[in-house]
Amino acid sequence: MKLETMLAHHGEDRAAYHGAVVPPLFQNSLFTFESWEAIDAAFDDRANAYIYSRGGNPTVRLAEAKIAQLAGGERALLFGSGMAAISAALMHVLEPGDHVVAVKNIYGPTNNFLNVYLRRKMHIETTFVSGEDVQEFEAALTPKTKLIYLESPSSAVFSLQDIAAVAALAQAHRIRTIIDNSWATPIFQKPLAMGIDLEVHSCSKYLAGHSDLVAGVIIGREKDITDIATCEYELLGGKMAPFEAWLLIRSLRTLPLRMRQHQENALRVARFLEQHEKIRRVHYPGLESHPQ
């Protein structure tokens, strides 16, 4: 199936929707059951069943199915914001006393969560590296390193990491990896195929693309995502609202088209700014002047 067709139709069941051309919005909090046995079975399979919309909702699941397919992951889990997804992914991987190696120019609140919150509350230490050379990551590893956290391109200065090389290094040391892929989106970059364990996004940016919703997502292997669904997702409650998921399904239909246009526009703006006498420096990986 072509990418555009997949995003428009994957996971949809027209017959169940009475032929509706776009999927319906399940704006309900609770689900009902025909029998006590059915309730029991649902609680035994909490990561997949529909019981209560904090745990799972069909509109949210449909958006997750499309995003998982897009990123090449086994499963995706949507959250109420990018930070809800990022903090859940970090708490899933980390335990008190662990050490993290992270890229210096990651999104500010992610940096705060690692460097302030997790350091103070869970005694988790983070070493920040520029990320431009894989040897920097290797040099920063300690026997306590549990995680390497990437964001490529990174926030503000759009510095890049060699994702496949870092993933191989991490695998050789049995270290987990997370990447924030919000800037490139899975349209331009597929980190899971390069060996990264968990991909996180602020969907509030390109994935949603209309400045009308805030959301986040984690994509990865079934085991990781199911564990997060029955732990951080269910217990901390950072779920995504069904209406936002419904808007996101709308947005995904045009994502490939929008990304092509964003890229064309951005390069044109970057070239314009680069030759402007009042601009000292332009950080854009598409320019020949980008150091990487």
Ligand X SMILES: Cc1ncc(COP(=O)(O)O)c(C=O)c1O
Residues that bind ligand X (CB under 6 A): 81-83, 107, 155, 180, 182-183, 202, 204, 214, 216
42/209 with CB nearer ligand X: 209
Report how far residue 113's alpha carbon sits from residue 91's, in angstroms, rounded to the nearest whole number: 10
191/216 with CB nearer ligand X: 216
* Shortest separation between residue 227's beta carbon and ligand X, angstroms: 22
Q: Which amino acid is at 37?
A: E
Backbone angles phi, psi at 52, to 5 degrees: -150, 135
Angle between helix 58-71 and helix 242-252 axes, rounded to 10 deg? 40
- To the nearest 10°, report the CA torsion of 26, 29, 34, 40: 120
* Shortest separation between residue 150's beta carbon and ligand X, angstroms: 11
* Shortest separation between residue 204's beta carbon and ligand X, angstroms: 4
Report how far residue 116's alpha carbon sits from residue 121's, in angstroms, rounded to the nearest whole number: 8
Query: What is the Cα Rg of the chain in Å?
Result: 20
* Shortest separation between residue 205's beta carbon and ligand X, angstroms: 6
* Shortest separation between residue 111's beta carbon and ligand X, angstroms: 11
56/82 with CB nearer ligand X: 82
Question: Can you give the length of the chain in residues?
Answer: 292
111/226 with CB nearer ligand X: 111
Report how far residue 182's alpha carbon sits from residue 153's, in angstroms, rounded to the nearest whole number: 9
81/226 with CB nearer ligand X: 81
Tokens of 122: 């869970």
Cβ-proximal residue to ligand X, closest one: 82
183/246 with CB nearer ligand X: 183
Pairing outcome for strands 125-129 and 99-103: parallel
* Shortest separation between residue 215's beta carbon and ligand X, angstroms: 6
